[in-house]
Amino acid sequence: MNVVLWIVQGILALGFIYSGWLKAFQYEAAKVSWTWVSDVPKALVFFIGLVELLGVIGLILPQATKIVPVLTPTAAAGLAAIVLFGAVFHIMRGEYRQIGVNIIFLAFALFVAIGRLKWM
């Protein structure tokens, strides 16, 4: 189970590094990739991206270093909340095609959060 959790954590980390980096540091590229970026304040997009990148650090480092490993499921739960809010945002905008990725990442993040709590 530990190997499966690490694989899912890696998938989550890659996905959130990509989206977080675009939102935080590549605003113009984010506007091209996601239509919603143009409709919300730039500062909010930057904040979401920064939180996602910090979540990736919390998703990997505490568990890998065994230093305060409870932060890993906490980070996974935080990322799950971000994805859930994103799905609700897309539903409110009628962007139903965008929700599939949100659901997958929500399931992965919840799997890590619950799995890491059980394995502590």
* All structural domains of the chain with their residue ranges: 2-118
Please give the pLDDT value at position 119.
73
pTM for the predicted model, two decimal places: 0.93
- Please, what is the end-to-end C-alpha distance for the chain in angstroms? 12
Instruction: Summarize pLDDT for 42-95 with one digit per residue, the tens.
Output: 999 999 999 999 999 999 999 999 999 999 999 999 999 999 999 999 999 999
Confidence of residue 120 (pLDDT cuts 50, 70, 90): low
| Contact status, residue 69 vs residue 62, Cβ threshold 8 Å | yes
Distance of CA 29 to the CA centre of its chain: 18
For 14-40, the pLDDT digits (tens) are 999 999 999 999 999 999 999 999 999
Give yes or no for a contact between 98 and 35, defined as CB atoms under 8 angstroms apart: no
- Give the tokens for residue 86: 């994103």
Integer Cα distance of 48 and 82 in angstroms: 8
Tokens, residue 107: 């399931």
Indicate left, alpha or beta for 41 from its phi (over 0: left) and psi (-120 to 50: alpha). beta
What's the DSSP call for residue 98? G
Q: Which DSSP state fits 40?
A: S
